[in-house]
Amino acid sequence: MTRTGHHIQFILDGRLMSPNMQGDGPIKADTSLLNYLRHIGHSSVKEGCGEGDCGACTVVIAELSDGVLHYKAINSCLVLLPMVHACQVITAESLSSEKEGKIHLHPVQQAMVDHHGSQCGYCTPGIVMSLFALWKDHPAVTTEILKHRLAGNLCRCTGYQPIIEAFMALNDIPRKDHFTDSTDKIINGLNAIKEKSSDIIIQSAGIEYYKPGSLKAALQLRSEHPDATIIGGATDVSVAVNKRKQNLKRVLDISALEELKIIEKDETLICLGSGISMEELGKAIKDEFTALHDIIMLFGSHQIRNLATPAGNIASASPIGDLLPVLMAYGCEVVLQNIEGKRTMPLEDFVSGYHETKLEKDELISAICLPLTRTDKLIRSYKISKRKDVDISSVSAAFSLYLKEDSVIDEIKLFYGGMAATVVKATEAEDFLKGKEWTEENALKASGIIRSELKPISDARSGAKGRSIMAANLLIRFWEDSI
C-alpha cells in the first residue's frame, strides 16, 4: 500500500528534523541543504562558489542501504532539501562530543589542531567533513587517495601539507567514535522515517515537488507531469537555481529509487541502474572498463561524484559532457522506460543535438548497458582541461581500436567532445586508417586528416585552432599509448 506524506524528515545532531516547506515560508522545496543549515544556525557550512567547486559547504550524509549506514561527503549547495529525506546529516558542529561536562573533539578535528591544519579557517569545516567521510569510509588511506579526495576542497591559503599530515597521523587510530556508538539508534530512526511514507508530495510557494518511493510511481508521475524537472543528483539543476536563478515549478525527484541503483551482469553485458552515483559507477566498472574509470576519476570532485548520476550526464547531452565520448567508444546503449515498457537505443543515436535527446516526455532513463568488450580491443579516453581536477574539458576524446594479428586495423572509432554542438566522430580519419597497418606514419597522416576534417568551435575554453591541434595530437598520443 502506498503511503503518501507531505513533509520530509531526517536526522541532524541526533534530532529528528521536520522542516516546514508548505506555504510561503522562508524554507521551500527548492531551498538548498546549505541554506537550510545556515538558516537554523549551522554556520560552519559556508557558500564559497554555489556550484560545487570549492568544497566550503561540504557536509556528510549517511544513507541506509541493506541495513548498513553508508557515509559520503557531498556539496550541500547542490542538494535540494527534500533530497535528504530519510538520511542522517552531519556537519562540523556535530562532530565533537560531550562527556562529564567536557567537550571532546572528534579525532579528525583533534588531528587538524595538532598538526596546524587551519589557517584563515574559512575552508576548514568543509575540509574536516571530507576527512571525516574518508575516515569513516576507508580503513587504510594512502597519500594518493587522500589528495584525490581533497581535490574538491580548495584552500586559498595553500595549507594542504599540514592537512595531509594531520590525516595520515590518523591511520593507526581505530575507526571508532560517538557515531559508531549511536549506529543502531540512527538505523532505527531512519527505518521509522521510511515506514511512515513511501511517496512525498510537497506544495511549496508555487513549487510542486514529487519524491516517489518506487519506479512505478515515478513513471506514473512522469506520464502525468511531462514538464517536470527530473533530478537524480541535481548537480546541474542546482547550479541553474543558484547561479541563473532558475525557478523550479514542478520537480520529479528520483534520487532515492532503489530500482534505479541495481547493477546486473552476465557473460556479454553489464547494465547499470541510471540512479547510481558516479562514484558507485567508477567502483563497479573499474576492472573491466578502465578508460571509463579513468574519466570518471576526473569527473568533478569526490563530493560531486557522490551526487551526480550517469543518466544526468547523458541526458544533458552536453558536447563537453565527460562521459559521452568514452561511453560511445564502448558501444553503450541506454534503456528508456515509461509506464508501458522499455526500449533500448545506442547512445550515439540517443543524442540528437545540442542538449537534445530522443527521450520522450513520458520516459525516464532507467539503465545504461555496456557490452563486455573483447580483451584484444584497446580503448583509451582523454580529457584536456586547464586544471586536472574539477574542471570542464576544452577537448575530450575516446578511441577504440581492434587490430588483426599482423597489426592491420580491423576496426577503429574516434570520438571527440568539445569540438561542436554534439560529440563528433572523425569518420574520414577512421576510413583512412581501416585496413592499414597501425604505424606512427599512418597515425600522423590520420591526425592531419582530423585537422582538416573537424571544424571546432571557439569559446572561452579554447579557440578553434587550439582545439584542432589538440584533437590531432590526441590521436598521436593514442598511438604512443598503444605500442
Q: What is the pLDDT of residues 217-261, one digit of tens each?
A: 999 999 999 999 999 999 999 999 999 999 999 999 999 999 999
Q: What is the length of the chain?
A: 483
Q: How many Å apart are CA 369 and CA 346, to the nearest integer? A: 9
Phi, psi torsion values for 337, nearest 5 degrees: -135, 140
Percentage above 70 pLDDT, the chain: 99
Task: Give the dihedral of Cα atoms 220, 222, 227, 232; nearest 10 deg.
Answer: 140
Residues 401-430 have a mean pLDDT of 96
Residue 431 has pLDDT above 60, yes or no: yes
Q: Rounded mean pLDDT of the chain?
A: 95
- pLDDT value, residue 2: 57
Average pLDDT (386-400) is 92
- The C-alpha atoms of residue 387 and residue 214 are separated, in whole angstroms, by 40
- Distance (Å, rounded) from C-alpha 299 to C-alpha 456? 23
Q: What is the mean pLDDT of residues 414-437?
A: 98
Q: What are phi and psi of 442, to 5 degrees?
A: -70, -35
Burial of 480 (0-12, 13-18, 19+ CB in 10 A): exposed
Using 50, 70 and 90 to split pLDDT, how confident is the model at 3? low
Give the model confidence (pLDDT) of 148-205 as tens digits.
Answer: 999 999 998 878 999 999 999 998 888 889 999 999 999 999 999 999 878 999 998 8
pLDDT at site 25: 83
Task: Count CB atoms within 10 A of the CB of residue 481.
Answer: 11
Q: What is the mean pLDDT of residues 386-390?
A: 87
Looking at mean pLDDT, say which of 28-42, 156-170, 383-397 comes out highest: 28-42
Distance separating alpha carbons of residues 294 and 322, to the nearest angstrom: 11
Residues 6+ apart with CB under 8 A from 2: 198, 199, 213, 214, 217
pLDDT in tens, 441-454: 999 999 999 999 99
Distance CA 2, CA 217 (A): 9
Q: Which of 138, 160, 4, 1 is closest to 73 using CA atoms?
A: 138
* Homologous superfamily assigned to 375-483: CO dehydrogenase flavoprotein, C-terminal domain (3.30.390.50)
d(CA 136, CA 24): 39
Judge whether residue 475 has pLDDT over 80: yes
What's the pLDDT score for residue 100?
A: 82
- 451-468 burial, b at 16+ Cβ within 10 Å, e below that, comes to bebbebeeeebbeeeebb
- Asked if residues 81 and 139 have their Cβ atoms less than 8 Å apart, the reply is no
Res 137: pLDDT? 85
In 3D space, the residue among 386, 397, 354, 383 whose CA is nearest the CA of residue 461 turns out to be: 386
Confidence of residue 1 (pLDDT cuts 50, 70, 90): very low
Q: Which residues of the chain are in CATH 3.10.20.30 domains?
A: 4-94+181-253
Q: What is the pLDDT of residue 292?
A: 97
Q: What is the pLDDT of residue 24?
A: 79
Tell me the mean pLDDT in the region 14-20: 93
pLDDT one-digit tens code per residue, 259-306? 999 999 999 999 999 999 999 999 999 999 999 999 999 999 999 999
Q: Are 397 and 298 contacting, i.e. CB atoms less than 8 angstroms apart?
A: no
Q: Please report which confidence band the pLDDT of residue 476 belongs to, taking 50, 70 and 90 as the band edges.
A: very high
User: Cα separation of 293 and 323, whole Å?
Assistant: 10
Domain 4-94+181-253, second-level architecture: Roll (3.10)
Give the residue with greater pLDDT, 159 vs 343: 343
User: Between these two residues, 201 and 138, which has the higher pLDDT value?
Assistant: 201
**What pLDDT score was predicted for residue 23?**
76
Q: With helix as H, strand as E and coil as C, how does the chain read?
A: CCCEECCCCEEECCEEECCCCCECCCCCCCCEHHHHHHHCCCCCCCCCCCCCCCCCCEEEEEEEECCEEEEEEEEHHHCEHHHHCCCEEECHHHCCEEECCEEECCHHHHHHHHCCCCCCCCCHHHHHHHHHHHHHHCCCCCHHHHHHHHHHCCCCCCCHHHHHHHHHCCCCCCCCCHHHHCHHHHHHHHHHHHHHCCEEEEEECCEEEEECCCHHHHHHHHHHCCCCEEECCCHHHHHHHHHCCCCCCEEEECCCCHHHHCEEECCCEEEEECCCCHHHHHHHHCCCCHHHHHHHCCCCCHHHHCCCCHHHHHHCCCCCCCHHHHHHHCCCEEEEEECCEEEEEEHHHHEEECCEECCCCCCEEEEEEEECCCCCEEEEEEEECCCCCCCCCCEEEEEEEEECCCCEEEEEEEEEECCCCCCEECHHHHHHHCCCECCHHHHHHHHHHHHHHCCCCCECCECHHHHHHHHHHHHHHHHHHHC
